[in-house]
């Protein structure tokens, strides 16, 4: 299996501070890899190394088959960078920014203009194209920033916390844009502190903390990895709640977590138990309005993973 992004044992220190303590990341072609972690976990350092802005102290980072240190110039032709630390010039208009980047990528002037126009259209900035970027709203600026990283038609895009500071509506808009990128076959590496964002966008997630990966899986796999699943039962008739709780307790062999406002929740070990509960509820004549097997939220996953005792030494 060849990975479009392949990072092995990457280390980087700034003076006494260890930003990356040997990190491994892999992304398959055309997928979205979410790198999830709190502030200071090393996400931005990793992205800066991958985008050739920083030199690693040790380890290896290969992008599209090219070493980011040895083949830095060629890597720069193939990647786009957007996020906290790469940005557009606020004194220039949207068009001027994109045309400048096109010119720096050695596009002929006409082609640079045409591409700028296409990207501005695609990102809903056509009307603001002639205005200085300093007059743009936060959401518009992020979109221009993303457009800027796509001028060279990169096959790999790095997004460093692309929605930090955006309000929810703008965030959803950005999410749609990022998904459309991946749908077009671009490999995306996305860092985020929002578990919801990684869950919504990523095919696979690497959770990092203190400069190392503490978990890697698909969003669903990750949720399963830590903590069991929970069954949720809401009888149609609230008076039957106690009966429902009894059924759940018999099937799972556990006491129910809580019975609150007519909802019974209890941990379950496997899907078979869930099927049994469904069966027993039917036999007992307990009609339900809600019956679900719920995975723990990513927030819970993360809390569990970053508990000191959960981190492998």
Partner 1 sequence: MIAHSLALAGRSLTKTRRNPGVLMDALILPVLFLVLFVYLFGGAVAGSTQEYLQYLFPGILILTTVLAGQIATGMSIVVDMKKGVFDRFRSMPVSRSSLLVGSVLADSVRYVIAVVVLFGVGYLLGFRVETNAAAAAAAAGLAIAFGFALSWITVLVAVLLRDETMVSTVGFLLPFPLVFGTSMVAPAETMPDWLRTWADVNPVSHAIDASQGLLLGGPVAGPVAMMLLWGGVFLAVFGTAAVTAYRRLT
The token pair at 165 is 């500071």
Query: What is the DSSP pairing of strand 229-235 with strand 212-217?
Result: unpaired
Q: Which of 253, 312, 242, 228 is nearest to 284 (CA)?
A: 242
Query: Smallest distance from the beta carbon of 114 to partner 1, in angstroms?
Result: 17
Binding to partner 1 by CB under 8 A, coded x per residue (else -) over 8-47, reads ----------------------------------------
Q: Tell whether residue 114 is a contact of partner 1 (CB under 8 A).
A: no
Q: Which of 85, 34, 24, 96 is nearest to 56 (CA)?
A: 24
User: Between the CA atoms of 160, 164, 170 and 175, what dihedral angle is there, to the nearest 10 degrees?
Assistant: 40
CA 305, CA 203: separation in Å to the nearest integer?
Answer: 19
How many CB atoms are located within 10 Å of the residue 24 CB?
16
Q: Tell whether residue 7 is a contact of partner 1 (CB under 8 A).
A: no
Using the rule CB under 8 A, which residue among 70, 85, 220, 238 binds partner 1?
Answer: 85
Query: Smallest distance from the beta carbon of 115 to partner 1, in angstroms?
Result: 14
Q: Which secondary structure element, helix H or strand E, spans residue 79, and what is its range?
A: strand 79-83
Q: Tell whether residue 268 is a contact of partner 1 (CB under 8 A).
A: no
Q: Tell whether residue 77 is a contact of partner 1 (CB under 8 A).
A: yes
Choice between 53 and 200, CB closer to partner 1: 53
- Binding range to partner 1, per CB under 8 A, among 30-38, 91-99, 192-200, 201-209: 91-99
Positions touching partner 1 (CB under 8 A) are: 51-55, 73-74, 76-77, 79-81, 84-92, 96, 100-101, 103-106, 132, 148-149, 152
């Amino acid at each position: 299996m060849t990975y479009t992004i392949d990072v092995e044992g990457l280390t980087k220190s700034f003076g006494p501070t260890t930003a990356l303590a040997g990190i491994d990341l892999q992304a398959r072609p055309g997928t979205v890899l979410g790198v999830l972690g709190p502030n200071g976990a090393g996400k931005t350092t990793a992205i800066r190394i991958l985008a050739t802005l920083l030199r690693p102290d040790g380890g290896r980072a290969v992008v599209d088959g090219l070493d980011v240190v040895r083949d830095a110039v060629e890597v720069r032709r193939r990647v786009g960078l957007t996020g906290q630390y790469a940005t557009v010039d606020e004194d220039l208009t949207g068009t001027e920014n994109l045309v400048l980047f096109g010119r720096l990528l050695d596009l002929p002037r006409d082609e640079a203009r045409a591409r700028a126009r296409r990207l501005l259209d695609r990102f809903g900035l056509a009307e603001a194209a002639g205005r200085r970027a300093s007059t743009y709203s936060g959401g518009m600026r992020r979109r221009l920033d993303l457009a800027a990283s796509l001028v060279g038609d990169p096959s790999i895009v790095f997004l460093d916390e692309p929605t930090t500071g955006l309000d929810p509506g703008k965030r959803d808009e950005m999410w749609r844009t990022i998904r459309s990128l991946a749908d077009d076959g671009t490999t995306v590496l996305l860092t985020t502190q929002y578990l919801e964002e990684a869950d919504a966008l990523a095919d696979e997630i690497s959770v990092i903390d203190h400069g190392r990966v503490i978990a890697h899986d698909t969003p669903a796999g990750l949720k399963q990895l830590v903590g069991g699943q929970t069954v949720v039962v809401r009888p149609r008739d609230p008076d039957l709640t106690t009966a429902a709780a009894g059924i759940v307790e018999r099937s799972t062999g556990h006491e129910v977590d809580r019975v609150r406002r007519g909802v019974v929740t209890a941990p379950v070990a496997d899907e078979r138990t869930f099927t049994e509960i469904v069966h027993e509820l039917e036999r007992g004549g307990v009609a339900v309005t809600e019956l679900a097997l719920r995975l723990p939220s990513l927030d819970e996953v993360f809390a569990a993973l970053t508990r000191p005792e959960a981190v492998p030494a």
